[in-house]
A and B are shown apart, each in its own frame.
Chain A
């Protein structure tokens, strides 16, 4: 499975970063990224290569993340900041400050519509409108309009929160 290895190496980190933003916790993120690649592996075995793997991976990861969020809604609002992920050892003030900021952003994102949140996350991954459309199933002609609205609302909420 040479192609699977190549896809894994190419997309693992980006996909991990993308999923991490939904949960801000390591464990569910690792589970979802792994599950996504397992599904890709099974797909490779069944049908061979997928035409547009990047979009496929993000689509599966988005669906898995959203359904997990729906199942454990309470946790997603409480957890961020409490289990802040720090490999190096920053000062307690830095940890606290960053945890507070990320908690604020996380709360703002939680207030947005599910569709808007997904679009913003995909924008962060530098996806084009076409790719966003492929992943979310939204018409490519509507993606720009919806993204600009999500942008406006997110900016307003962030301003209010700060």
Chain B
């Protein structure tokens, strides 16, 4: 009957675990068992690969006797600084909102639209072509009884 190696026993043996007596028994058994020899070889190969791969995570140098302010103290200080930070952030937001509101109010009070034209019979239900960048709008219309397209310019001016 073919012998099936006990993986766990071999693994423990490879790791150097167990008392001398049991280790000696396993050692004697392996000497005469090719299946166990193969299994142990496989485990050793696996171990070697894992050792090589895990050694990649080793630091290339280890600083010695480096003492910093403990992390717990640093965290406590951060919490102490938090209210000051929150207050300054809130005041900045408030200033930004107030400035925006005041600017909008000033704009609406100081500017108005003046339309200059003398054509009373004009049908003003025409197209309005606006050009806010130039602060000017143009009304396109057709006077009653004619086919001629005319324009009225209106400009934005301050009071």
Chain A residues packing against B (C-beta within 8 Å): 12-13, 16-17, 20-21, 24, 26, 29-31, 34-35, 38, 85-88, 98, 101-102, 105-106, 108-109, 120, 123-124, 128-129, 144-145, 147-148, 151-152, 154-155, 158
Q: Which residue of chain A is the closest to B61 with respect to CB atoms?
A: A87
Q: Which residue of chain A is the closest to B74 with respect to CB atoms?
A: A31
B59 touches A20 (CB 8 A): yes
**Could you say which of A16, A85, A155 contacts B60, with CB atoms under 8 Å apart?**
A85
Shortest Cβ gap from A10 to chain B (Å): 12
Which chain B residues lie closer than 8 Å to A29 at the CB level? 59
A35 touches B62 (CB 8 A): no
Complex Cα spacing A148 to B5, Å: 15
Which chain A residues lie closer than 8 Å to B51 at the CB level? 124
* Interface size class of chain B, counting residues whose CB lies under 8 Å from the partner chain: 20 to 34
**Could you say which of A20, A31, A128 contacts B58, with CB atoms under 8 Å apart?**
A20
Which chain A residues lie closer than 8 Å to B60 at the CB level? 85-88
Complex Cα spacing A125 to B68, Å: 26
Complex Cα spacing A155 to B48, Å: 10
Which chain A residues lie closer than 8 Å to B12 at the CB level? 144
A30 touches B63 (CB 8 A): yes
A34 touches B67 (CB 8 A): yes
B11: interface (CB < 8 Å): yes
Complex Cα spacing A20 to B54, Å: 12
Which chain B residues lie closer than 8 Å to A106 at the CB level? 57
B20: interface (CB < 8 Å): no
A16 touches B62 (CB 8 A): yes
**Could you say which of B47, B59, B66 contacts A151, with CB atoms under 8 Å apart?**
B47
**Could you say which of A17, A38, A128, A144 contacts B11, with CB atoms under 8 Å apart?**
A144
Q: Is the interface of A mostly helix, strand, loop or mixed?
A: helix
Complex Cα spacing A87 to B58, Å: 13
A105 touches B17 (CB 8 A): no
Known: A85-B60, A155-B46. A34 touches B17 (CB 8 A): no
Complex Cα spacing A127 to B12, Å: 13
Complex Cα spacing A17 to B57, Å: 9
B50: interface (CB < 8 Å): yes
B8: interface (CB < 8 Å): yes
**Could you say which of B15, B54, B61, B71 contacts A124, with CB atoms under 8 Å apart?**
B54
B35-57: CB near A (< 8 Å → 1, else 0) gives 00000000000110111011011
A21 touches B11 (CB 8 A): no
Most A CB within 10 A of own CB, among B51, B57, B61, B72: B57
Shortest Cβ gap from B69 to chain A (Å): 9
B7: interface (CB < 8 Å): yes
Q: Which residue of chain A is the closest to B12 with respect to CB atoms?
A: A144
